[in-house]
Structure 1
């Protein structure tokens, strides 16, 4: 559905996007993850034809954006990070206005407006001015505007910034349902790792304009030799035994503090129970253990060596 081939965007001496290549398959939920300023919005602007790449090519549905972008725009829905709505108009009037820009009119425009009002869950707010809506509801109208042409490809740029948890949940569930029920291809950009982890099967992590990781979470863990965490409490264990923890197959690093052991483990074909049994076989008497599978926050930290920035 979407292919970026060695795409670069420069502004004089500043390079916002650096030689990025990736592809998104039809019907996929693809996450674009990175801190603020990483280059995500610049990539969205190039995909949506607002910006032209300095170098490289972008193809949507097998058609190059450099060819006939107007034809490609007909199959895309873009949800910008900043609200793009007319505050004085009602929810319904906003949707009808944006639908008319896609060439909808008459009964088709009215029926599609009703469909989208139902999708975003705002039928009861249809006649209310957007200025009177909550921040979360405005975000939902913003998404509705991008759905009026029933796009094959939906691109959402930070759609949940600054909204309440209930609205965030509604947006995530809406996007997931559009993908599952309609086969809509979704590109979801965010710096909220838990959203991308929940919603997307595959993802790209970018930082400082560069692609630093690409694949499913499981593929990233395998390729980057990233580790899960096993924490163990024990009552007895001599220094010699504790010194052998890192020799256990699957244990990358072990740190002992008092009666507490923290380990980075890469289980691979071995189970956590196998590792726990090996610890016991060293003569260490355990009183409890806890296993935590790596989440994207931890994975990002291991890949970059730093926490996710929010500046």
Structure 2
């Protein structure tokens, strides 16, 4: 579904993303982890054509992303509250998003009813504009807007960061269902190693703009990542998928 070749982004003479080759297949659930400044959000923004690389290209379903439109019809994303229209109420915004995808109010209401537990009574019919919601509740609106679109590709940047533990649990189940039951390709970044290894079957470890490990999630992945970030050890030998063999030497 996603193919990246020779991708490089530079800010102030510092290379912040440098990915020679990466592929993400349709139906995969991929987690992106790394310290602050690793380049995760920059990579997300290039996949969404929000910023342009210095060199290289990104293809989605075979089409170059930069300057093209078809990929937008099946891609849903929430990176931060800047993706929302904050002077609308949640209901107004979600009806607007639904309308963009040929859904009437009844269809939107049906989807939102299924998200009742996720909203936890804090989003709808509260008489608040999106700008007046907490960051956690803004995130809930953003995730809901993504699910309304029935996407083939779902991208979320740090969705667990500002939500409470109960909502984190519900979001994990929603992401698993989107991937396993609906076949949605999911790409999620998170600093929470427990959540990301629970949700994703494949982990990309990114440091200083480079994907240094591409890990098929197994029973030892969480402890390996905790060792890496905790004491700076190099991860042991792990399966690598989607990165050319010669690029790992």
> Shorter-chain TM-score category?
0.7 to 0.9
Tell me which moved more, 7-16 or 130-139. 130-139
Scaled by the length of structure 1, the TM-score of the pair is: 0.66
- The answer (yes or no) to whether the contact 2:18–2:209 under 8 Å persists in 1 is yes
Would the alpha carbon gap of residues 84 and 66 (structure 1) be closer, same or farther in structure 2, given more than 3 Å must change? closer
Shift of 1:213: 0.5
Matched residues in 2 for 1:86 and 1:64: separation?
A: 28
Matched residues in 2 for 1:153 and 1:34: separation?
A: 22
Work out whether 1:303 is the aligned partner of 2:234.
Answer: yes
Q: Which runs of 5+ in 2 are unaligned?
A: 236-249
Residue 88 of structure 2: aligned partner: 89
1:199-234, Cα deviation, whole Å (9 max, x unpaired): 11111100111111012145997xxxxxxxxxxxxx
Residue 110 of structure 1: aligned partner: 105
Matched residues in 2 for 1:219 and 1:8: separation?
A: 33
Would the alpha carbon gap of residues 119 and 7 (structure 1) be closer, same or farther in structure 2, given more than 3 Å must change? farther
1:21 partner SS: strand
Matched residues in 2 for 1:215 and 1:166: separation?
A: 28
**Rg larger for:** 1
Would the alpha carbon gap of residues 20 and 143 (structure 1) be closer, same or farther in structure 2, given more than 3 Å must change? farther
- The answer (yes or no) to whether the contact 1:120–1:174 under 8 Å persists in 2 is no
Scaled by the length of structure 2, the TM-score of the pair is: 0.81
Shift of 1:147: 2.4
Shift of 1:103: 4.5
Residue 18 of structure 2: aligned partner: 18
1:141 partner SS: helix
- Cα root mean square deviation, aligned: 2.5
Work out whether 1:3 is the aligned partner of 2:32.
Answer: no
**Which protein, 1 or 2, shows the higher relative CO under an 8 Å CA cutoff with sep ≥ 6?**
2
Q: How many residues align?
A: 228
- The answer (yes or no) to whether the contact 1:217–1:296 under 8 Å persists in 2 is no
Which structure carries more strand by proportion?
Answer: 1
Q: Which runs of 5+ in 1 are unaligned?
A: 222-292, 305-311
Would the alpha carbon gap of residues 67 and 193 (structure 1) be closer, same or farther in structure 2, given more than 3 Å must change? same
Residue 233 of structure 1: aligned partner: none
1:223-275, Cα deviation, whole Å (9 max, x unpaired): xxxxxxxxxxxxxxxxxxxxxxxxxxxxxxxxxxxxxxxxxxxxxxxxxxxxx
Shift of 1:63: 1.5
